[in-house]
Amino acid sequence: MKIELHNTLSGKKEEFIPIQEGKVSMYNCGPTVYNFAHIGNLRSYVFADTLRRVFEYNGLKVTQVINVTDIGHLSSDNDDGEDKMTKALKRESKPLTLTAMREVADFYFEKFKEDLTALNIETPEHFPFASDHIQEDIDLVKRLEDKGFTYKTSDGVYFDIKKFPEYGKLGNIKIGDDTESRIGINPEKRNPQDFALWKFSGKFNNDLGYDAPFGKGFPGWHLECSAMSVKYLGPQFDVHTGGIDHIAIHHNNEIAQSVCSGDPYAKYWLHNAHLNIATENGSDKMAKSGDNFITLQTLKDKNINPLALRYVFLSARYSSPLQFSWETLEGAQTAWTKLRMHMRDFSSSSPIDNSNLRNEYISKFNKLINDDLDTPKALALLWEVVKIKELSSDDKEYLFISFDRVLGLNLNTSTTYIINKKEIPENVQKLIEERDIARANKDFAKSDELRTQIEALGFEVKDTKDGTDVV
């Protein structure tokens, strides 16, 4: 069965055809390890993990790389601002040395790996640190120099985007779209959107840096990803993922420097949308620099299992924005817990019944996940399995285990979080109230639609003479 994915490079959904038959090479933009990851960051890795699981479910062997940025990432994508790792050293009263920088990076990387484990994310084959690949960075800059794509300023070596006519093809970004925001940042740049391949030691990194033929300094953040991805996956690989905020600058810069150095680079580009959270001025993406900084530990402190967050992420298409609320998260925990309780109750004492109906559900699930990772409908199908009387308990158990290979919700384990049956999350209560109004108005189509939404959150709907009841 073919897999179709929305390729940001072409702007349309395409059939996925791997470069090498039976194998997939995948690069996922990783963390900058200067602080804990927040749950908005973690959406990218649940998405990448789900994509990996879809490939594996289809019988493909995956080689996955998630990089670790521990040097060279400035606070602005415009090659300006303070180095994020230097900022961490100051925050934690560490000496301004490369050794201390790596110590901070190692600490937050270990915390990041703990988050991945808690979210049941498979471990990639490679976790390369940027600071371990300085020579690859230098070699890439030298190749671009030799081909005439670079120029020097007083603060670094820059890539001249005018020499790459296809710059901005990813996401259809036009040169000049962001001109006003970049004017004046560096008057030595030939074009406002030219980007740093190498930043010289100085005010941005307190004279820390690595020796290079063109001057002591740090590789550019964009350069690091190109160098590491090609080292581990080859000059052309299948899939590159990241958040939508990387499209305009970071990923277009990667493409420009890689292609101009002679590497065809990634064939398919996939991007996940933001996790948004309410703010005083409305709604905004979650960010480490803001007041909406929620970590996985915050959830654990509230007795919410991290897999409830994974459930929330799966409840929307990876490419659709998600609005975070504690009510939604609590509802997801209820739904996730009920699924595990159903799994526990399924009998496994008799042989599996290879029924046509069970195979129909396998086929339905395959079509959904292969259709650009339609996880919301895949979750709904899982709940449908629970209710179908014609499926034996053995069939249901088989389907749960099969579906969970992609969903990654750990449904077949013994750990259980308690459902407080006296409390119904606010978002579910609102749906109940809307449904009672629809029933009173004899709007049965609306009533059925709201029933489906309530049941997708893990509640069983019962109609009574007093209105909608849920358990």
pLDDT at residue 458, as a whole number: 73
Query: Distance (Å, rounded) from C-alpha 195 to C-alpha 185?
Result: 12
What are 13-19's contacts with CB under 8 Å, separation 24+?
Answer: 13/372, 14/268, 16/238, 16/268, 18/60, 18/238, 19/236, 19/237, 19/238, 19/267
Half-sphere exposure of 41 (CA within 13 A, CB side): 20
- CB distance 417 to 311 below 8 Å: no
| pLDDT surpasses 70 at 331 | yes
Please say if the pLDDT value at position 462 is more than 90: no
In this predicted structure, what is the pLDDT of residue 277? Answer: 86
pLDDT reading at 259 higher than 60:
yes
Instruction: Give the separation between CA 312 and CA 184, rounded to whole angstroms.
Output: 42
Mean pLDDT calculated for residue range 413-442: 64
pLDDT attached to residue 279? 64
Total number of residues shown for the chain: 471
pLDDT reading at 65 higher than 60:
yes
Question: Given this model, what pLDDT does residue 286 score?
Answer: 63
User: Which of 110, 109, 187 lies closest to 154, judged by CA?
Assistant: 187
How crowded is residue 118: how many other Cβ atoms within 10 Å of its Cβ?
18
pLDDT surpasses 70 at 125:
yes
pLDDT at 446: 87
Q: Is the pLDDT of residue 348 over 70?
A: no
Per-residue pLDDT, 443: 83
pLDDT score at 122? 97
Q: Report in angstroms the alpha-carbon separations of 448 from 229, 382, 432.
A: 48, 18, 12
CATH fold of 4-272 = Rossmann fold (3.40.50)
Across 428-441, average pLDDT: 77
Q: Which two tokens stand for residue 144?
A: 């671009």
CATH class of 288-407: mainly alpha
- The conformational region for residue 452 under phi > 0 = left, psi -120 to 50 = alpha, else beta, is alpha
Residue 349 has pLDDT above 50, yes or no: no
User: What are the residue ranges of helices labelled H in 305-421?
Assistant: 306-314, 326-345, 356-370, 375-387, 393-407
- Whether residue 262 is predicted with pLDDT greater than 90 in this model: the reply is yes
Q: Are 317 and 375 within 8 A, CB to CB? A: yes
Q: 394: Cβ–Cβ under 8 A, 6 or more apart, which residues?
A: 346, 347, 348, 350, 351, 352, 353
Rounded Cα distance between 177 and 195, Å, is 15
pLDDT of residue 180: 44
3-class DSSP state for residue 300? helix
Q: Is the pLDDT of residue 422 over 50?
A: no
d(CA 92, CA 35): 10
| Contact criterion met (CB below 8 Å) for 265 and 259 | yes
Q: Tell me the per-residue pLDDT of 276-323, one tens digit each, with 9 for 90 and over.
A: 987 656 566 666 555 568 999 999 999 899 999 999 999 999 999 999
Whether the per-residue pLDDT at 426 is higher than 80: the answer is no
pLDDT band at 466 (very low <50, low <70, confident <90, very high): low
Domain boundary assignment for the chain:
4-272, 288-407, 426-470
**% of the chain residues with pLDDT over 90:** 70
| Residue 468: DSSP 8-state | E
Residue 419: pLDDT band with limits 50, 70, 90: very low
At position 394, the amino acid (one-letter code) is D
> What was the pLDDT predicted at 333?
94
What's the pLDDT at 289?
Answer: 56
**pLDDT at residue 196 tops 50:** yes
**pLDDT recorded at residue 183:** 45
Please say whether the beta carbons of 221 and 69 come within 8 A: yes
Q: What is the mean pLDDT of the chain?
A: 89
The answer on pLDDT for 139 being more than 50 is: yes
Alpha carbon of residue 165 to chain centroid: 30
Mean pLDDT of 381-402: 92
Per-residue pLDDT tens digits for 201-245 = 876 566 789 999 999 999 999 999 999 999 999 999 999 999 999
H/E element holding 82?
A: strand 80-83
